[in-house]
Structures are given as C-alpha cells and as structure tokens.
Structure 1
Amino acid sequence: MSATTNQRAALIIIDMQQGMATVEAGERNNRHAEANIQRLLATWRQSQQPVVHVRHLSRSPESPFWPGQSGVLFQPALEPLATEPIVDKNVPDAFTHSGLERWLHARSIHQLVIVGVSTSNSVEATVRSAGNLGFDTYMVSDATFTFAKRDYAGTYRTADEVHAMSLANLDGEYAEVVSTEEALALL
C-alpha cells in the first residue's frame, strides 16, 4: 500500500470536538486514538499534505454539539490551522450537503485517510460515501473510536464490539482498514 506517484492523500479528521471527550459521551474504546490522530496530523502537516477538519453542528438545542456550546469546539491538541479547511455538517456523513466532494475534486485529491469519531456513526457514514464516490479510502482503525450501545435486539455491546463490527462492515467494501503505522507509510 502506497500513494501513487504525485498523488496527494488528504487526512480527514471527523468530529474531534470537546463534546466527544466528556464522560457523558459514554463508554468508549481506543484510548490512544487521539494520540494516533495527533501523530498522523503532525506527519501530514510536515509533509504539506491536505488536512480537512470535520465539525458536527447539531440540529437539536439539547445536544452538546449545538452551536455556541463548548462541546462544538475542537479538542485543543487537534485545533485546525488557519490554512486547514473546516467542513461543517449536521448529519453523520461529511459529504452530505457540505461541499467536501467538490473541494477534494477541485484539488485533484483521490486518496483519503479517515480518522476520528465515532466509528459506528459519522466515520462509518463518511467512509461509506467516500467509497461509493470512488475515492481510494483508508480508515485508520486505531485512530478512530466509538461508544458502547445496545444492539437492535437489546443486547449490550461493548465499544470494542461495536468498533469491530463497523470495521468489518467497511473493510474491503468501502475502504481498506489500516493501522496508524500503515497510514503513515502512505506518505
């Protein structure tokens, strides 16, 4: 796995906002995800590769992601630079009604490395769209995380189980699931 000659790979960082780092967000997995995202971000910046930050803005005033609340703010260690675009969304998929696809095509970017939260929601929705839109997509398994939840039958699933199922849903169908080390090797 490697980027083809002269191909730029965009790092897409999804919903790394302060609201995702609260206890209220729930039991989560991949406690080292933020550190891995920071490593990827530092390498992308050093390599002068494109970085896109995705921010969720809720449609519900009760949500910590309602505009004007601290939950909407980016986590300080992952704050975008002034030169890095921010894509705002109010649905899980970062491509829906956002202009992200157009922004990538205008820059001839066809390879995406996707990280962030939550694996089973915004990350999975965005990866599915990226694959369906024809992007060469990589999802970084240890630079994403999700939360525990009950399945449709009511059975409690740990965050690791929910994460593993999302990875299984995506790998080989919409994206190639890789580790942080494998993603770094793309550059």
Structure 2
Amino acid sequence: MKLEKAALVIIDVQAGAQFLNRHVYHADADYFTTVVQHNQQLVANFEHRNWPIFIVTVHPKVFPAFVNQRFAKSLLMTAGLKHVHYVAKTSPSAFSQPTFMTKLHELGVEKLIMTGFTTNNGVAKTVADAEINGFDTTVVTDATVAKSAAVQAQILPQFTELATTAEILAAPRNN
C-alpha cells in the first residue's frame, strides 16, 4: 500500500467518546485504550513524515459551552506538532464543517486515512461524504471503534479499503 497525497483524519477520539464508550455502550475499555494508542502512533508517524493530520471533535449543540469544552477534549497528545489541523463539528461528518474541505484542497489531499469513534457513525458518515466529494478513503480497522464489537464486525466490510495501523505505519508515500 502506498499513501499518495494522504492525510490522517481522526474522528471524535475525545473525552466524550471515552465516557460514552464506558458508561453508555458498556464496551471494552481496554479496546478503547488500544484504539487511542494506535491513533497516537499514527499521529506520531504522520507528524514525523510531515504529512497532514486532522483532529476532528464533535461539539454537540445541546451542551452548554463549559460542558462542551470537557466533552470535546481530544485524548491525543498533539501540543507542539506542526502538521495538525483541528476541526470542530456539530454533526457526525467532518465534512459538515466547510473549512475541512477547504483545508484538504489547500493541502492537495486526495486520500483520507480514517480512524476514530464511532466506526458506524462519525467515521462512516465522513467516509461517505469523502467518497461523494472524490476522495479515496482507507479505514484503519484497529484504530476505530464502534458501539460494540458486533457492530464493528458488521460495519467494517462495508468500507471500500481497509488497513491496520501496522500497514499504515509501514506504507510509503510517493508525493
């Protein structure tokens, strides 16, 4: 696999997602922790290679500002990184924020490496919008998490291209 004109797009790996995973979906906390670790590895790899990274966080309209600030806090360490772009959205798809598409075009991005929470909502809707807008997408299977393992197993085969974190970390980029 080659990463040509690719950007890493991380959907909703944030404090609110961790809370939902643990207290609403009652999903495996260890798996969520592993997903966060894989995302951190991908961030470090893309930053090292000077490739663009988009940290996308959802800010629900129903929350007051002080709650939203805590809910939307990214779980990834990105302070001081030069290639990170932050996108705040109010609905599942990152494309609901017009500045996202503008920045992708400015950077010459043609392929999105997709990760995050939840695979069946924010990731799936961003992938669908990306493909409608002419972007190639790859979903990183072990850097995404759904509401349950069963939902994850059901949604992954619906994506056009899948890869693991290890495959992405090892992939060259020719652009």
Query: Normalised by the shorter chain, which TM-score bucket?
Result: 0.7 to 0.9
CA distance in 1, matches of 2:74, 2:163: 25
Q: 4+ runs of 1 displaced by more than 6 Å?
A: none
In the TM superposition, residue 177 of structure 1 has moved relative to its aligned partner by 1.1
- 1:15 equivalent among 2, 12, 19: 12
Match of 1:185 in 2: 170
Pick which of 120-129 and 21-30 moved more: 21-30
**Secondary structure at 1:85's aligned position in 2?**
strand
Cα distance, 1:119–1:49 mapped onto 2, change above 3 Å: same
Gapped regions of structure 2 (runs ≥ 5): none
Aligned-residue CA RMSD (Å): 1.8
**Secondary structure at 2:94's aligned position in 1?**
coil
- 1:54 equivalent among 41, 56, 59: 56
Q: Is the 8 A contact 2:52 2:85 kept in 1?
A: no
In the TM superposition, residue 89 of structure 1 has moved relative to its aligned partner by 0.7
Pick which of 177-186 and 45-54 moved more: 177-186
CA distance in 2, matches of 1:114, 1:67: 28
Q: Is the 8 A contact 1:18 1:73 kept in 2?
A: yes
**Secondary structure at 2:65's aligned position in 1?**
coil
**Secondary structure at 1:140's aligned position in 2?**
strand
CA distance in 2, matches of 1:78, 1:128: 28
CA distance in 2, matches of 1:79, 1:67: 22
Match of 1:156 in 2: none
CA distance in 2, matches of 1:34, 1:55: 14
2:35 paired with 1:36 = no
After superposition, residues 29-178 of structure 1 pair within 5 angstroms as 30-31=31-32, 32-61=34-63, 67-69=65-67, 70-75=70-75, 77-79=76-78, 81=80, 83=82, 84-147=84-147, 159-170=148-159, 172=160, 176-178=161-163
In the TM superposition, residue 138 of structure 1 has moved relative to its aligned partner by 0.7
**Secondary structure at 1:11's aligned position in 2?**
strand
**Secondary structure at 2:95's aligned position in 1?**
coil
Pick which of 115-124 and 66-75 moved more: 66-75
Gapped regions of structure 1 (runs ≥ 5): 148-158
Give aligned pairs, total.
Answer: 164
Cα distance, 1:81–1:134 mapped onto 2, change above 3 Å: farther
Rg larger in 1 or in 2?
1
In the TM superposition, residue 86 of structure 1 has moved relative to its aligned partner by 0.9
TM-score by length of 1: 0.80
CA distance in 1, matches of 2:27, 2:127: 20
CA distance in 1, matches of 2:109, 2:155: 25
**Secondary structure at 1:99's aligned position in 2?**
helix
**Secondary structure at 2:13's aligned position in 1?**
coil
